[in-house]
């Protein structure tokens, strides 16, 4: 597609429920990222996929958070047993290669998660 696509754009869920957030990266981009944006917290790195390499999961805040990337394209971020502090905008991004090689990363519009 033309840009990074995320769904749903808005999700309200009850505390304790599981949620799945989906990301379609730009076609041909091998690198995919998830970030979390909370009020006053800036952009928090969650997880990074690069090609067939093992993902960098160093930013996942707890074992309730997991992500997978199927076929090197679409990614799903899953939050189990959601808590109110999980409320945030979850941003997906992709790039042609690693930003460490200077590649620009492009962001989706985000999925706004509210846990009530």
Partner 1 sequence: AQSVTQLDSQVPVFEEAPVELRCNYSSSVSVYLFWYVQYPNQGLQLLLKYLSGSTLVKGINGFEAEFNKSQTSFHLRKPSVHISDTAEYFCAVSDWFPGNTGKLIFGQGTTLQVKP
Tell me how far apart the alpha carbons of residues 110 and 97 are, in angstroms, rounded to a whole number.
21
Site string for partner 1, 32-71 (x = CB under 8 A): -x-x----xxxx-x--x-x--x--x---------------
Identify the residue among 26, 32, 105, 113 touching partner 1 (CB under 8 A).
Answer: 105
- CA atoms within 13 A of residue 110's CA, in its CB half-sphere: 13
Q: Could you say whether residue 99 binds partner 1 (CB under 8 A)?
A: yes
Of the candidate spans 8-16, 21-29, 74-82, 108-116, the one that interacts with partner 1 by CB under 8 A turns out to be 108-116
CA dihedral 55, 61, 64, 68 (to 10 degrees): -20
113 contributes a contact to partner 1 by CB under 8 A: no
């Amino acid at each position: 597609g033309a840009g990074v696509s995320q769904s749903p754009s808005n999700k309200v869920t009850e505390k304790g429920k599981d949620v799945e957030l989906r990301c379609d990266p730009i076609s041909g981009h091998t690198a995919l990222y998830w970030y979390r944006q909370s009020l006053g917290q800036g952009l928090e790195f969650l997880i990074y996929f690069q090609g067939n390499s093992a993902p960098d999961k160093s930013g996942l805040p707890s074992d309730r958070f997991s992500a997978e990337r199927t076929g090197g394209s679409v990614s799903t971020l899953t939050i189990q047993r959601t808590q109110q502090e999980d409320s945030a905008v979850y941003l997906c991004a992709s790039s042609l290669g690693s930003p460490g090689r200077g590649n620009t990363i492009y962001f989706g519009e985000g999925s706004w998660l509210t846990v009530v």
